[in-house]
Amino acid sequence: MEKTINITLKVWRQNGPKEKGRFETYKLDKVSIDSSFLEMLDMVNEQLINEYKEPVAFDHDCREGICGMCSLYINGRPHGPDDDVTTCQLHMRKFKDGQTITIEPWRSAAFPVIKDLIVDRRAFDKIIAAGGYVSVNTGGVPDANSIAIPKVDADEAMDSASCIGCGACVAACKNGSAMLFVSAKVSHLAMLPQGRVEGARRAKAMVAKMDELGFGNCTNTGACEVECPKNISLSNIARLNREFLSAKFQD
């Protein structure tokens, strides 16, 4: 037989960006431990709708850990108690029968709450728009193997590129710093020849945008690295520091 648990939820509810928020408590019975965390929230919303109450607003899209939309701070940790997974990949088997689960939005001045558990993460888009790309001319597609890239570099660039922009790093950081995100974006392009060309301009533009948007200064606590669902390494931050400083010293 399928195993189920009964849980109590303490969920942050907030009607709009300017409104005062509060916690509301919901009881939910017979949750299959095989269901995902977001499926459990779907059950909560179904229950609320049946009671003619407003459902809880939360972000999600792919529900398979690749889009970076889901974003919940669950029982003291971004993306919940499991390691290296997004909220959508979190299973209810990680919780105990009778447990109280507290669900909050990301807390950071640069990520204001839009509604309930949804925060505005457009700050990340603005940082990407400031320089997180390569400029290429249109034309014939060159053969992928025409530029030789050492395997080590290719692998490391791929690791950095796996950042999905979820913002858990900012949510976990006591300084509200976006350095892990920015460093992953700067790194994956800086390590490949096609991205190297614009390396200096990119590092300066993205860091300037990050500062302008009010993210904090990194003190290398490493909380971001622990909570990142994609295991983005702190060494990216050192690389960003070097990229930025050498770009500045060249000016």
38-46, long-range: CB < 8 A, 24+ apart:
38/63, 38/70, 38/87, 38/88, 39/92, 40/7, 40/92, 44/9, 44/11
Mark 217-236 with x for binding to ligand HEM (rule: CB under 6 A) and - for no binding: x-xx----------------
63 or 107: CB nearest ligand FES: 63
Which of 167, 176, 195, 216 binds ligand SF4 (CB under 6 A)? It is 167
Main-chain dihedrals φ then ψ at residue 202, nearest 5 degrees: -65, -50
Question: What single DSSP character describes residue 147?
Answer: S
Element (H, E) at 9: strand 4-13
From 27-35, 44-52, 137-145, 207-215, give the range in contact with another protein by CB under 8 A.
207-215
Contacts of another protein in 132-191 (CB under 8 A): 172-177
61 binds ligand FES (CB under 6 A): yes
Return the HEC string of 15-30: CCCCCCCEEEEEEEEE
Asked if residue 184 binds ligand SF4 (CB under 6 A), the reply is yes
**Which listed range, 30-38, 54-62, 192-200, 243-251, lies at the site for another protein (CB under 8 A)?**
243-251
Minimum gap (Å) between residue 209 Cβ and ligand SF4:
15
